[in-house]
Amino acid sequence: MTEDVPRPGAEAPADRGVALADVRARLAPALGAAAAKRVRAFEDGTLYVDSTMSGALLAWLIDSVVLSVVAVAVAILYGTTADDPDSAVGAVVIGLALIVVLPFAYGWAFRDGRALGGLLTGTQVVRMKDGSPVGLAKAGWAMLIRTVFLPFLFWAAFDGVGQVRVSIDRAATAQLRRSGITRLL
């Protein structure tokens, strides 16, 4: 049986904060204090445990390194084996093109939000709206943004402006759901 956590009054941010503080306190014995502090709610009120900053950054770093290594390796391979006198220029063009193309393919291959970085860190990228998987249509874009543009967009990650995806702690979120407290009202 799941327990909904009532949120007093309308959907004012202060009321949501009060309800989240209450649910965090109630979940602390089941999740532990550190995980309980990371409990958040999706836009639809479903609760989840946010990944740690180090887990999200490590997942990003792993995915970025994998894609960069592949792009650079292919570019170097082309540059060293091509008979073209301008093979160095071709290698740079190929490397830059792969930096944009590979994240799409990588994202589509891991459309459930658990690429290699997520698998190794126990995190998953999900939709902020309701916690559903990113899905095939958005997975390539999500990976491109994570691996190529994220370093330029870190300010948005810290204040949540325009956030449409979030990285969750899968194990702690599963434990939260087993506790029976699953939603804010």
Mean pLDDT for 47-52 is 94
Query: Is 11 a residue whose pLDDT tops 60?
Result: no
pLDDT at position 155, please? 54
Which range, of 11-15, 123-127, 149-153, averages the lowest pLDDT? Answer: 11-15
Radius of gyration of the chain (CA): 20
Q: What is the pLDDT confidence band of residue 159, given thresholds at 50, 70 and 90? A: low
Query: Is 7 a residue whose pLDDT tops 50?
Result: no
Q: What is the pLDDT confidence band of residue 153, given thresholds at 50, 70 and 90? A: low
**pTM for the full predicted model:** 0.77
Closest CA to 141 of 116, 117, 172, 107: 107
What are the backbone angles phi and psi of residue 11, rounded to the nearest 5°?
A: -85, 35
Q: How far apart are CA 90 and CA 104, in angstroms?
A: 21
Q: What is the pLDDT confidence band of residue 17, given thresholds at 50, 70 and 90? A: confident
Which range, of 69-78, 128-137, 142-151, averages the lowest pLDDT? Answer: 142-151
Provide the percentage of residues in the chain whose pLDDT is more than 90.
40
Alpha helices (H) in the chain, listed in sequence order: 13-31, 33-37, 53-81, 87-109, 116-121, 136-144, 154-159, 170-179
Query: Is 163 a residue whose pLDDT tops 70?
Result: no
Residues 51-86: pLDDT tens digits? 998 998 898 889 889 998 999 999 999 999 988 888
Q: What SS3 state is found at 167?
A: strand
Distances in Å between the Cα of 15 and the Cα atoms of 11, 61, 115, 159, 177 are 7, 36, 36, 19, 22
Range of the domain at 145: 3-184
Rounded to 5 degrees, what angle do the CA atoms 164, 55, 127 make?
Answer: 20
What are the backbone angles phi and psi of residue 111, rounded to the nearest 5°?
A: -65, -10
Total structural domains within the chain:
1
